Copies of this chain bind each other. A is one copy, B any other.
């Protein structure tokens, strides 16, 4: 076993045992290196891995932002991993979109009408009304979909949904250049968002799932996703 994996195993143990939890601070790199009798280099490699996994956040200086603290952002980490594999032509974008439809339609069907994230989603829709810039619109759109997914109450589905969205975010942004008229497309998306939110709030799970499916597939159909190998 390589040295940095020893550090990773130690940290995983501490997490499983509850000694470390979200919000905890890891010992300083130099102290941890001495404690585990390894070099600071190996400790840093382990921390880089944990950072890529979305499990820790490192900051320099002093104060609350400094040091290495346990966080939990699985969506970003999974998204980055997927994005790299897409770049390596190992994961077709079409499969990502299809999986996203699968997860998100399930989430829409299983969302509870009184979930606290639904008002958040509604606020995001209000902000999108006045938003004309493409990338800002897409950023709000991403947050809306994540809020919708959270209403189903499954953290894994939410994280994977967000990661799928993030993995092809740049791709989706470039796709908008294919659209004949962004303003009209945006308006259509706004209406679809409102319909989805209404269906979820009304508890009409069948309609919600169908609307979500059509919403996502419709966008990529209009923007011209090439099936079978696009990246």
Contacts and interface: CB of A to CB of B under 8 A. Distances in A.
Nearest to A11: B84
B52 A49 contact: yes
Contacts of A80: 53
A90 B96 CA distance: 24
Q: State the main secondary structure of chain A at its contact with B.
A: helix
A154 B70 contact: no
Contacts of A98: 154, 156-157
Contacts of A16: 87, 231
A91 B156 contact: yes
A131 interface: no
A43 to B, nearest CB: 12
Interface residues of A, number: 51
Each complex incorporates copies of this chain amounting to 2
A190 B156 CA distance: 28
Interface stretch (A71-79, A122-130, A198-206, A210-218): A71-79
Given A45-B45, A89-B21, A90-B22, A55 B72 contact: no
A99 B80 CA distance: 20
A41 interface: yes
Interface in A81-95: 81-85, 87-92, 95
Interface in A1-40: 4, 12, 15-16, 18, 20-22
Contacts of A4: 48
Given A16-B231, A102-B102, A102-B103, A84 B50 contact: yes
B49 A102 contact: no
A81 B74 CA distance: 7
Interface of A: 4, 12, 15-16, 18, 20-22, 41, 44-45, 48-55, 70, 72, 74, 77-78, 80-85, 87-92, 95-96, 98-99, 102-103, 106, 154-157, 159-160, 164, 231
